[in-house]
Amino acid sequence: MAEAISWSQLVRPMVLARGLDPSRYEVHFASARFDERLFHGTSFTRWPMTLLPAEKIEAVVASGSLRRLYGKAILEKYVADELRLYEAIRPDLVVADGRFWSTPVSAPAFGVPCATIVDAYWSRRATRGRFPMPDHPIIRLLGAPIAEKIYPIVLPTILRYMAAPTNQLRREYGLPDLGDLFDVLTWGDRLLFPDDPLITPLTHRAPHETFLGPVRWSPQIPLPAFWDDLGRDRPMIYATLGSSGAAFAVPPVLEALGGMDVDVVFSTGGRFTPKNPPRNVRVVEMIPGDLAAQKAELVVCNGGASTGYQALAEGTPIVGIPCNLDQVLAAIAMRDAGAGVLLRAATVTAAKVRAAVKRVIHEASFEQMAQRAAASFKTFDPHARFCAVIDEVTARGSIANETIRSRAVPYISGQSEPVFY
């Protein structure tokens, strides 16, 4: 099951599911979206699921990450979807990406084991400094120094507030509270980290946690006609803010890169088309990101793990411009590993982008660290590790599942066939 707010939530479980042996596994894929660029050629049984209204997603993302995306009413619909799905399929294992708020209710209520895909930087045991402040409008209102002094004081309340709807629903199903945001996001019978501990180290790894290694995907589409002309006489830069980056950061990025002696490929992801881009900027809707990162001197992105890891896998450092909290955490991890530079989207300017790009291009340490990450990424086989987890869980067979179901909290179905909102 995948949430469909960003492409990464769909890509990771889809890539992992594609690697499963169809003679051994029956795969059902549940989500609100099934873009054929991702799912072409798959034979998964598809199940439509509830998704938040697009306008609410955009409003919350634009406001920073201190507002809740999921209130109790929408979570009730999510949980109802999931319970009906389990009843129709009777799965041996649920693998969930982005359904953090609802599966901690539905899976134990039904009695099915759940493996949660979540980045290791969300762990309470992630080795970093203090928890960062999201890219909230208060930064622009008060300035970063004042806002960052206030933030640690209110953070515990914020973390409990974010987890409250899930905990309230768990109580209604007779389940104990999980705790705060960290506990909700890292709930699962198994945790699957699509990361490399070189970039996202933990103080220690729990027995139910597995580092899969970065799970990457790139669209299989033709390269643009101008491809061979890029990077011949000057550096090439690949820029994209992906499916969830800050749209207001595009003008300063293009202004900065347009004033430099570089070739630029800017991928819109189909979200918007820049008006009057600089002459050295080639705009495309989508491009094979792995090949673009391989050819580029650096990648300018939203700092998230999806494009960030794609760049590092090719030994290419990044300039990350994150806006939401997940992107901030990923960008901090890559910055702290020495593989890139972080700029806040809320305060980004063309001058800051230009300075960051020049620094990353001219300081050899960034490329060296990116190449070290690329070598480390190659030591991981996400498909083999994923299959090993599935085999471990399902090897217990019906006895283990019956034991889990015997502890499950009864619920009233109300429908003999699955019904979706």
28-42 mean pLDDT: 89
Identical fold for domains 7-213+380-403 and 227-377, yes or no, is yes
**Over 70: is that where the pLDDT of 404 sits?**
no
Q: Comparing C-alpha atoms, which of 25, 15, 37 is closest to residue 117?
A: 15
Cβ neighbours for 65, distance < 8 A, ≥ 6 positions apart:
134, 135, 136, 324, 325, 326
Residue 20, both tokens? 């499963």
Domains of the chain, by residue range, sit at 7-213+380-403, 227-377
Res. 66: pLDDT tops 60: no
How many other β-carbons are positioned within 10 Å of the β-carbon of residue 414? 9
CATH of domain 227-377: 3.40.50.2000
pLDDT of 239 > 80? The answer is: yes
Residues 279-313 have pLDDT tens digits of 999 999 999 999 999 999 999 999 999 999 999 99
Residue 312 pLDDT: 98
Which of residues 346 and 81 earns the better pLDDT score? 81
| Predicted TM-score of the model (pTM) | 0.88
Mean pLDDT throughout 124-142?
72
pLDDT above 60 (res 413): no
Q: What does the DSSP assignment read for 242-280?
A: TTTS-GGGHHHHHHHHHTSSSEEEEE-TTS---SS--TT
pLDDT number for residue 331: 95
CA distance 318 to 344: 14
Q: Of 329, 394, 407, which Cα lies nearest the Cα of 95?
A: 394
Among 58-67, 392-401, 403-412, where is mean pLDDT lowest?
Answer: 403-412
Q: Do residues 127 and 201 make contact, with C-beta atoms less than 8 angstroms apart?
A: yes
- What is the pLDDT confidence band of residue 61, given thresholds at 50, 70 and 90? low
Class of domain 7-213+380-403: alpha beta
Residue 396's pLDDT band (cuts 50, 70, 90): low
Tell me what pLDDT residue 395 has: 82
List pLDDT tens digits, range 106-120: 999 999 999 999 999
